[in-house]
Structure 1
Amino acid sequence: MTHAQPQLNSRQSSAIPLLSQPLLHEKESLEITRLSPALGAIVHDIDLSQSLPDKTIVELKDILCRDKVIFFRNQNISPIEQRNFAQKFGELHIHPVFPTVENVPEVIVLDTLHNDLKDNALWHADVTFSETPPLGAVLAARHLPPSGGDTLWTSTAAAYNALSPEMKAHLENLTALHDFTRSFPLSRFGRDNKEKQKWLNVRSENPPVEHPVIRIHPDTGERSIFVNEGFTTEICGLEPEESNALLQFIFQHIKKPEFSIRWTWQSGDIAFWDNRSTQHYAVDDYRPHRRIMQRVTIMGDKPVGPRN
């Protein structure tokens, strides 16, 4: 099936020089097209089904840190190859709720025919209810609707940079709670006794966790906003009304179009994003058509804020 390319203006329609902060390493050999000043890049002429040399992995890490979400077109990649690619960037996460590919437990299946995916149709970062939220994720398009089903990403670093100095200073002193149940409530994931017992087990293993509101990127030192609608329930130490008002301000601020891009999927597309400095939104506009995506999640480290 045919899908439209992401909308780019004439300055962005071909490979262009890289003008943002310098890479961690001096030389870049991969051809890329940048999608916006805030985030996003397409990497061309690369086959992710192959075992990539260490030099290429280093370049991809650098591009990921700078551009925050990388896209690859025309990838004929199996779940095992997808896992193997992601494994080059760190230890892999096993999701406690979503089903997985048979014999490849690192690859979760996001299938709208079988899964309740309402938790993906809002701005969120993945698995921030963990003490060590993911570094990033590799997402493959397996079955697409005739139209719709786009995914948006936003740069929480760009959102932080756009705040006033006074608001930055205020947020840098704060922490927030992240709770598994906000996106995975018992009412939706405990429909029978078996599901309920699984939910209770996951809940007991993942109590609410406290993270800094402003996170320092472990590789670049860049600061970003680290609260999200998917899992953040409150700002610690504030009265409920104050917490709710501040969270709503942050959630609305992060959604501004100048911090974001929208990707129209094509068959064979792969997206690789930095979960530490982005959020994403899977647009749920294609029902009753089916959409199947497969995701591998790379484990990260404990978030560190300016006051840690």
Structure 2
Amino acid sequence: MLLSRSQTVEIGGHSIEFGPRGMRRCADGFESRPYTQFELRPVTPYIGVEIHGVDLRDPSAEVIDELRRALLEWKVVFFRDQQITGAQHRDFARHWGELEIHPLLPQGEVPEVVHFERGEDNPGTENIWHIDVTWQKRPPLGSVLRALEVPPAGGDTLWADMGNAYDCLPDAIKERIEGKVAVHDFVPSFGRAMSPEKLEQMQEMFPPVEHPIVRTHPETGRKTLFVNSLFTTHIPDIDPVEGAALLRQLVDQAKVPDFQCRFRWQPNSIAFWDNRATQHYAASDYFPHRRVMERVAILGDVPA
């Protein structure tokens, strides 16, 4: 049940909302049961939980079953002190399905592992709210990101709960976007650094795709807001000016701190997030220090 005591005031011609919002951790009907295989330490009441007492190098079937449930309930789960190899990283992610080999990002020693190395010569550029690879027909189910080297301070990653982001939209906006789709494209981001020849080749392979603005999570049944600043370009079949204003309002939902959790990285920390239910943002506040990460993504379904 959604309970809301938030208030709205008009300041300078703008509506400002404050106070408790109507939020929930799970979809109605989701059964939240005790966990017996590990300890949970919530980061916030709604999104994000640290899991302790698990070795990801060789998890049992019972541990994997409870991790599946924890991921659906908390949307992003965190682990500390996991000294795993690239192959073990890949093998852990495989418990959730077929893995992605990203066509536009550098690979690590294992083909399924994407290697991110940021520093003085290559500053971080992931500081924009986004959902991974929504420019493909089957965006990832989720991603498993591990820290190899972290700066002495900064470089945190934030996640936003897009179920609560949708729930807290005004009813008039929900009615306006019901059943509508938005267009997603890699060109405004990855395409900017490509030569014209390379761009043309990649556009033939990965043309723009349409996804529902509001998708239904295939496992929990919860409605989530499925547009993002990095890859969503426009809403078709609507006046371009009105559509641009509407899209700005929708993507700005991820920026509300009430919907977010924040993770401070340490070497050998791991974050595993549900890409169908969240957006994320990597703070680029550590220049010129180094930040080295590796990620494995799990293929998802066609958003519906």
- TM, length-normalised to structure 2: 0.86
Residue matched to 1:66: 73
| Cα distance change of structure 1 residues 225 and 20 upon mapping to structure 2, 3 Å threshold | closer
State how 1:45-194 maps to structure 2 within 5 Å.
45-50=53-58, 52-102=59-109, 104-113=110-119, 117-118=124-125, 120-186=126-192, 188-190=193-195
Q: How many angstroms does 1:236 deviate by?
A: 1.5
Tell me the distance in 2 between the aligned counterparts of 1:293 and 1:261.
19
Note closer, same or farther for the CA distance 1:142–1:263 as it changes in structure 2 (3 Å cut).
Answer: same
Return structure 1 stretches of 4+ with deviation > 6 angstroms: none
Looking at structure 2, the residues matched to 105 and 172 of structure 1 have their Cα atoms a distance apart, in angstroms, of 39
Cα 1:115–1:136 shift into 2, 3 Å: farther
Q: Secondary structure at the match of 1:182?
A: coil
Identity of aligned residues (%): 43
- Cα distance change, pair 47–199 in 1 and its aligned pair in 2 (3 A): farther
In structure 1, what is the Cα distance between the partners aligned to 2:271 and 2:198?
30
Quote the Cα distance in structure 2 between the aligned partners of 1:25 and 1:159: 21
Structure 2 equivalent of residue 250 of structure 1:
250
Give the C-alpha shift of residue 25 in structure 1. 7.8
Letter in 1 for 2:49: A
SS in 1 for 2:45: coil
Tell me which amino acid in the other structure corresponds to 2:242: E
* 234-243 vs 214-223, which moves further: 234-243
The alpha-carbon deviation at position 166 of structure 1 amounts to: 2.4
**Secondary structure at 1:204's aligned position in 2?**
helix
- Counterpart-to-counterpart distance in 1, 2:70 and 2:251: 26
Alpha-carbon displacement from aligned partner over 1:90-138 (angstroms, at most 9, x marks no partner): 1000111111112x110000111476752x2100000000001100000
Q: Which amino acid aligns with 2:230?
A: G
The answer to whether residue 42 in structure 2 is matched with residue 34 in structure 1 is yes
Q: Secondary structure at the match of 2:96?
A: coil
1:215 matched residue in structure 2: 215
Which range is displaced more, 79-88 or 105-114?
A: 105-114
Cα gap change, 1:115/1:208 in structure 2, threshold over 3 Å: closer, same or farther? farther
Tell me the amino acid that sits aligned with residue 122 of structure 1: I
Q: Is the Cα contact below 8 Å between 1:132 and 1:303 reproduced in 2?
A: yes
- Name the amino acid aligned to 1:48: L
Q: 1:44 aligns with which of 23, 41, 52?
A: 52
Q: Deviations over 1:123-168 (max 9, x none)?
A: 0000000001100000000111111101110001010111122221
- Indicate if the aligned counterparts of 2:123 and 2:287 stay in contact, CA closer than 8 A: no
Give the superposition deviation at 1:45. 0.7
The 8 Å contact of residues 38 and 258 in structure 1, kept in 2 or not, is answered as no
Distance change >3 Å, CA 276–CA 149, structure 1 → 2: same
* 1:122 aligned counterpart, secondary structure: coil
CA RMSD between the two structures:
1.9
The answer to whether the 8 Å contact 1:23/1:62 transfers is: no
Q: Is the 8 A contact 1:144 1:290 kept in 2?
A: yes
**Equivalent position of 2:3 in the other structure:** none
Distance 1:296 1:236 in 2: 32
Matched to 1:110, the amino acid is F
Q: Quick one: structure 1 residues 25 and 84, their matched pair in 2 at CA, closer, same or farther if it must change by over 3 Å?
A: farther
Cα contact 1:96–1:202 (8 A) shared by 2:
no
- Alpha-carbon distance in structure 1 between the residues aligned to 2:137 and 2:118: 28
Tell me: CA distance 1:116–1:287, structure 2 relative to 1, closer, same or farther (3 Å).
Answer: closer
TM-score (norm 1): 0.85
Question: Any unmatched runs of 5+ in structure 1?
Answer: 1-18, 191-195
| 3-state secondary structure, aligned to 2:56 | coil
